Amino acid sequence: MNIAVIDYQGGNVQSVLFALERLGVTSAVLTSDPDVIRRADRVLFPGEGEASSAMRALRAAGLDKVLPTLTQPFLGICLGMQLLGRHSTEGPAGGTELLGMLPFEVVRFAPPDATHKVPHMGWNNLHDLQTPLFAGLGTAPPKSDTQSARPADATPTAADYVYFVHSYYAPVGSYTIAQASYPAGVPFSAGVRYRNFYGVQFHVEKSGPVGEQILRNFLEGDLR
């Protein structure tokens, strides 16, 4: 299987490649070549950073035109998920126009008081899981304590955690396939989907056995 990991100068790419290696994947290629991306069996779109800079890099490589035309299973991670939306309030005045592949606007968390921090960072559990991307995982109600440590030897369970680091989020909508909640009680999309395009707001590559299960589902599942 050929795996294309999109290179647009976003952060955290090496962690994604290491996560694939742990699953036995040796065919992943870090690339910005449209032809290589089109021929891939699966496409991963990782990212850490800022929306307007990421979009400039995608446009410079012509990938803003290529990515929406792909038909193979596609997974955006963190910023890579957010960039699938229409618009982000992050960036210069007026925000940033995104790829427009899913009908959401990315907005910044608005903490109600000084005890709630931005970014939303740490372990938080998922709920209302849908689609084969989350096969093998259960569902659980939201839990407010996102800083709880996750045991190193834990295995996926209904109340398990994934790792988030983000200041901006996609609201819950018809495209949402997994939810989580900001500590102030604000629900947001932890997973999204439109046709073959999937995205997760958390870092699968840093989420232990749960993240590995999701990556395995992406690589092996029927996600078209």
Sign for the pseudo-dihedral over CA of 33, 134, 78, 156: negative
Closest by CA position to 198, among listed 180, 214, 212: 214
Find out whether 209 and 154 touch, Cβ atoms under 8 Å: yes
pLDDT score for 154: 41
The one catalytic residue in 120, 127, 166, 203 is 203
Question: Domain total for the chain?
Answer: 1
Query: Mean pLDDT for each consecutive 10-residue tract of the chain (224 residues)?
Result: 90 87 93 96 92 95 97 97 98 94 96 87 93 82 37 47 95 97 89 98 95 96 87
Peptide bond into 119 cis (omega under 30): yes
CATH number, domain with residue 38: 3.40.50.880
* Angle subtended at Cα 138 by Cα 159 and Cα 84, rounded to the nearest 5 degrees: 95
Please tell me the pTM assigned to this model: 0.89
205 included as an active-site residue: yes
The region, left, alpha or beta by phi > 0 then psi within -120 to 50, assigned to residue 60 is alpha
The one catalytic residue in 87, 205, 212, 220 is 205
User: What residues make up the domain containing 119?
Assistant: 3-220
Only one residue has tokens 């210069």, namely 92
50 included as an active-site residue: no
The one catalytic residue in 78, 120, 127, 166 is 78
Q: Quote the tokens at residue 60.
A: 């410079």
Find out whether 170 and 89 touch, Cβ atoms under 8 Å: no
